[in-house]
Amino acid sequence: MSDGKALNKLRSFNFKLKMLLEVTNNIITNMPVEQLIDRFHTMLAKDLKINKVLIYVFQENSWKIILKYGVTPEDYDKIVPERDFESIKDIAVVYSGTDPKFSAFDFVIPLYNDDKIIAYMLMDDFDAEDDGMSPSIRNLQFFQTLTNFIIVSIQNHRLVEENMKQERFKKEMEMAAQMQNMLVPQTDIFANDKRLCVDAFYMPHFQVGGDYYDFDYLSKDEMFFCIADVSGKGMSAAILMSNFQASLKALFVPDMDLKTLVRRLNRIVVKNSNGDRFITLFIGRYDFKTNTLRYINAGHNAPLLYNCATREVKYLNTGCVGIGMLDEIIALEEGCITFDNNHKLLCFTDGVVEFESAGDLDFGLNVVKKCVAQDTDIKTTIASIIQSLDIQRSNTKLFDDITLLGIDFYVNA
């Protein structure tokens, strides 16, 4: 080998080493993906003198172009990666005109990661060296190695970013779940009240949910309770429900009747949801002096009221359409029942009664009715429903939030 050729070979080796070291340094210093791609563009175009480059990467279950220069849409608009790259497993020379779709390029270079093709680089050739060999052909293996290194690094970088996003999202969801749990009332506020007993169960389908229940004293002689379910699931449903809860708490005062309350809540939900969502609601207020229950069912699953003396079960249906379904609620009725003996009430959301078994669409509701119609207290009733329907997170039949709210009303206690 002549001294000139040896010197050129040494220079080429040093140049390639310098490029690899620069790329490595960019990766080690955690250069953002966009800057890494931009620097790679400069290397290809200015340092390696490649005039046309098109790089496809397989990400998010489809082929996407992450780098292109020196090309027009006409150069690649007929290329369908899923079809045209399928048979290319090694570096392919396409300047011979073997495939018109690649006519703007001279080489198609597959890029691998763990023996799996993750990208394709299409590039043109450039002027031959003195020995007549194309420098592109001479350096194809280097182009492949360098580009492979870049693409794998970009994918790893994006994977780390995605994992970080998922971790942040997970922590945000955990915090949202903790905040939502803080809004759930505790049944012990009635612990020393012999006039009633309240029990509840809540399990969101995701970490946060769109179900809601509440109860509290309105005065020393009156209490209220409600259960609600927003259409849809997830964070957006939880946010709307949290807003609804705050509105109800702010509006519901002792001297406000249920009809006025429901109409005002409807206007708030219509405004906040822009008509995209609605809320089903059952709300009641109970007067301890008269043993009278007044309620409105706004499109919710009808609660079951069990008469402990006659053992009859009654559905509480009286009310109106769901909250937020109409700009203004016109047809609105209030139900009213006076108890002359002990009663048991169970409220629930869709997730409870939508259980199916062997094609029986009413399986969940039938289980609820059977458990309610037993001479047991509300705590035992809810525990029986949970056991009978196997309500736990490992149950794959669950596909909605699950909420149960029950009250034992003790007359003349």
Instruction: Check whether residue 16 and residue 149 sit in a common domain.
Output: yes
CATH of residue 31's domain is 3.30.450.40
Instruction: Check whether residue 218 and residue 82 sit in a common domain.
Output: no
Would residue 169 count as lying in a domain?
no
Instruction: Check whether residue 236 and residue 384 sit in a common domain.
Output: yes
- Domain count of the chain? 2
**Residue 89 φ then ψ, to 5°:** -110, -20
Would residue 190 count as lying in a domain?
yes
Instruction: Check whether residue 403 and residue 280 sit in a common domain.
Output: yes
Would residue 167 count as lying in a domain?
no
How confident is the chain (413 residues) per 10-residue block, as mean pLDDT? 52 54 56 77 79 87 88 89 88 72 86 85 67 55 73 72 73 64 78 94 76 92 94 76 86 93 94 86 96 97 96 96 93 96 95 69 85 95 91 68 93 76
Instruction: Check whether residue 146 and residue 183 sit in a common domain.
Output: no
Instruction: Check whether residue 42 and residue 190 sit in a common domain.
Output: no
| CA gap 251, 145 in Å, rounded | 68
Instruction: Check whether residue 263 and residue 151 sit in a common domain.
Output: no
Q: pTM for the full model?
A: 0.63
Q: Which domain holds residue 67?
A: 3-158
Instruction: Check whether residue 257 and residue 395 sit in a common domain.
Output: yes
Q: Which of 132, 158, 184 is the last residue of a domain?
A: 158
Instruction: Check whether residue 199 and residue 50 sit in a common domain.
Output: no
Instruction: Check whether residue 250 and residue 112 sit in a common domain.
Output: no
Task: Please count the other Cβ atoms lying within 10 Å of the Cβ belonging to residue 404.
Answer: 26
Q: Are strands 292-298 and 319-320 parallel, antiparallel or unpaired?
A: parallel
Instruction: Check whether residue 7 and residue 96 sit in a common domain.
Output: yes
CB–CB of 150/184 below 8 Å?
no
Instruction: Check whether residue 16 and residue 137 sit in a common domain.
Output: yes
